[in-house]
């Protein structure tokens, strides 16, 4: 059974899903790679209400990490990259090459970038903490302005100039 819940955030409406045991998706509504939610039940499952509370605490700067069971759906490679994303500390960033190196294959930068872009549990699995080799904000399913917001919230922007369209 898949449960769906919607919540407002400073970055717009988020859709949360769970399978009753773990969060399976946190997505901005206009993201490119939304999961199939056919047959899902739209009701306030306790796990989704806890996820909503923790997200509000994160956006309010009261929380730096999430304490929820997560179950992202993807290939074994994608799940490993997503696991590595979870190891990037709050307020810090890595380049795609550094993430590929942590995976054990510095040449897998493109594959790492693609896996990063398919992360189904945005914000909680911090794909926004991965940046370009020159420090530029590159690629984010929710839009670069959201990536900038999240990195600024976490204090990771430093003296970097703001992103402009």
Please list the active-site residues.
127
- Distance, CA of 151 to chain centre: 12
């Amino acid at each position: 059974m898949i449960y769906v819940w919607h919540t407002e955030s400073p970055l717009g409406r988020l859709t949360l899903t769970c399978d009753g045991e773990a969060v399976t998706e946190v997505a901005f509504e206009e993201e490119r790679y939304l999961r199939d939610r056919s047959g899902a039940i739209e009701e306030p499952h306790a796990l989704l209400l806890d996820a909503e509370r923790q997200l509000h605490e994160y956006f309010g700067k009261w929380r730096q990490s999430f304490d929820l069971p997560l179950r992202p759906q993807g290939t074994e490679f994608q799940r490993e990259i997503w696991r590595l994303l979870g190891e990037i500390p709050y307020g810090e960033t890595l380049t795609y090459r550094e993430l590929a190196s942590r995976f054990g294959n510095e040449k897998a930068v493109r594959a790492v970038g693609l896996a990063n872009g398919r992360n189904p549990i945005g914000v909680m699995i911090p794909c926004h903490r991965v940046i370009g080799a020159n420090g530029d904000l590159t690629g984010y399913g929710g839009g670069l302005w959201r990536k900038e917001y999240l990195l600024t919230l976490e204090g990771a922007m430093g003296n970097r100039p703001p992103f402009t369209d």
